[in-house]
Chains A and B, each alone.
Chain A
């Protein structure tokens, strides 16, 4: 998928994660997390896996995590990506890229 404009998903509430995606070159990822020492690598893996599944090759992704579980992280990344390419209102590829 092509990131057309910047988009945001998620909040800064405890147990949530806020994901901002913007157009970029290659994957530029920055992660802040309240649990970075124990879960930083797992969070990074969950984000990269989701971007890969959505076939996002070029994006600047900024993540502020407040202790979200992997399922939440994946959902927020997906949502931000779909919003960034105008797919969030209708025509979500259910059953395809979203698993």
Chain B
């Protein structure tokens, strides 16, 4: 069946009430009964929940064939914990038919690719797919398609009972002997545990894995011991050099700075740019640099931001320290400065879980209060659909993260991207895979000009009034093709290797197995 972004979704996927994407806000107001966890009564006093090894903790939690386990990826490429756990489950315990529910899958989890190829990990749900795992999935090595969900889509699916986590293995920078755990206060601090907190509330079992055991009680905590079955102390939860950079630096590339300046110009030209406005941006070159230009406009206009949302960098923290940002609502920290800032400013820099951040399945996600979000894209097409999951070769190598959620929630979603990257036309006729639907995207800023979604006449009028030039998006696409040539369409096998779920649970697109190229 063809969905609202023109993608053909195979009928065999449309079972158990699953529908194709119908457009923004389709399920608004619908009722949902929340799934819940099965917990265990710890009625008697107990000294601690320490387990000597990961295996002992797994046995305590009843790890078994066919179970779903989860972990968070706040340690990014530096994460040791997910691989450590998978090795124990597969190689020590010999478990099979495992399901993975991850916030992302990347190079730190390369060992998962082996288990997927061997048919030991049989199902995966994730936001991002990078590294060898993406190559294995795109080559059609798994029998069942992987489900790609946004950061808001994941907690929505968990709360709706579409994903049931048996055991959550959660890395923590510090924990006490009972499992009160945080992302700070240890040897390998990563800051916000926003990716992990929600899992502890919905998984039947939670195991905390830390390298820094601190005296009881480790409070205020991100994960509470009331949800924790076992605590395991390991030598190191991650490689600090890869967990986060020292500081996500603002680019000095003049092309990126020009794009950032143009984004700030658009922001300042719209009626939402008043005292108390709210803002989210990504960590990519031009997106991050927007902070710098926004600061100038805010000081000039004498206004402050009510809240900054999402992944957090030192750049946003610096704005807060200058008194320009009231609250930072932080789901993950991109650099060590931001992680330390979270620890040092508990009343104005707040840790936030993914449901409160971005889920379309609750009554008050923060994305719904966003005025602006500035995001990047691998590709954007003339219908304003964005792809951030598949490369130009059709292989899974990206992550929607909170992209579709923030785009849907914000009053103005701005995509900033160079017109071409090498020979890739970023602005194209049809994106390879739709990860954020065009009905959620309002403005595109490139190094060759700005385009506004024709559905937003109000924004067009504001830019015209401010004297900001813009062109139809087709002009940008034609310019890109003039420079690099029109790309040939990718060739695919029939087999669906991944299902891209929209944030409301409908199906936005599918990714098929890549057909090897032949002349």
Residue ranges of A at the interface with B (Cβ–Cβ < 8 Å): 14-15, 31, 34-42, 44, 66-70
Taking a contact as CB atoms closer than 8 A, the residue among B422, B490, B514 that contacts A34 in the complex is: B422
Q: B423 to A39, Cβ gap below 8 A?
A: yes
In the assembled complex, which residues on chain B have CB atoms less than 8 Å from the CB atom of A31? 519
Taking a contact as CB atoms closer than 8 A, the residue among B393, B483, B485 that contacts A36 in the complex is: B393
In the assembled complex, which residues on chain B have CB atoms less than 8 Å from the CB atom of A38? 392-393, 423-424, 487-488, 490
Taking a contact as CB atoms closer than 8 A, the residue among A35, A39, A69 that contacts B483 in the complex is: A69
The digit string for B480-518, where 1 denotes a CB below 8 A from any CB of A, is 000111011011000000000000000000000010010
- Taking the complex as formed, is B437 at the interface, i.e. its CB lies under 8 A from any CB of chain A? no
In the assembled complex, which residues on chain B have CB atoms less than 8 Å from the CB atom of A14? 422
The digit string for B412-442, where 1 denotes a CB below 8 A from any CB of A, is 0000000000111000000000000000000
Return A64 CB to nearest CB of chain B, in Å.
Answer: 14
The digit string for B82-102, where 1 denotes a CB below 8 A from any CB of A, is 000000000000000000000
In the assembled complex, which residues on chain A have CB atoms less than 8 Å from the CB atom of B483? 69
Return B497 CB to nearest CB of chain A, in Å.
Answer: 16
A44–B485 alpha-carbon span in the complex (Å): 13
Q: A37 to B422, Cβ gap below 8 A?
A: no
In the assembled complex, which residues on chain A have CB atoms less than 8 Å from the CB atom of B423? 15, 35, 38-39, 67-69
How many A-B residue pairs lie within 8 Å, measured between CB atoms? 51
- Taking the complex as formed, is B394 at the interface, i.e. its CB lies under 8 A from any CB of chain A? yes
A35–B422 alpha-carbon span in the complex (Å): 9
In the assembled complex, which residues on chain B have CB atoms less than 8 Å from the CB atom of A35? 392-393, 422-424, 487
When A15-B423, A44-B519, A67-B424 are in contact, do A37 and B484 touch as well, CB less than 8 Å?
no
- Give B139-170 interface residues, CB cut-off 8 Å to A: none
Closest to B422 in A: A67
Closest to A16 in B: B422
Closest to A68 in B: B423
Q: A37-B393, A38-B487, A41-B488 are in contact. List 7 more A-B contacts (CB 8 A).
A: A14-B422, A35-B422, A37-B392, A38-B488, A39-B485, A67-B423, A69-B483
In the assembled complex, which residues on chain B have CB atoms less than 8 Å from the CB atom of A67? 422-424
Q: B485 to A66, Cβ gap below 8 A?
A: no
When A15-B423, A67-B423, A67-B424 are in contact, do A37 and B485 touch as well, CB less than 8 Å?
no
Q: A15 to B422, Cβ gap below 8 A?
A: yes
Return B178 CB to nearest CB of chain A, in Å.
Answer: 51
Return A34 CB to nearest CB of chain B, in Å.
Answer: 7
Return B470 CB to nearest CB of chain A, in Å.
Answer: 27
When A14-B422, A66-B422, A67-B424 are in contact, do A37 and B490 touch as well, CB less than 8 Å?
yes
In the assembled complex, which residues on chain A have CB atoms less than 8 Å from the CB atom of B487? 35, 38-39
A83–B392 alpha-carbon span in the complex (Å): 34
- A sample of 21 inter-chain contacts (CB < 8 A) reads A31-B519, A35-B393, A35-B422, A35-B424, A35-B487, A36-B393, A36-B517, A37-B393, A37-B394, A37-B488, A37-B514, A38-B392, A38-B424, A38-B487, A39-B485, A40-B519, A42-B488, A67-B422, A67-B424, A69-B485, A70-B485
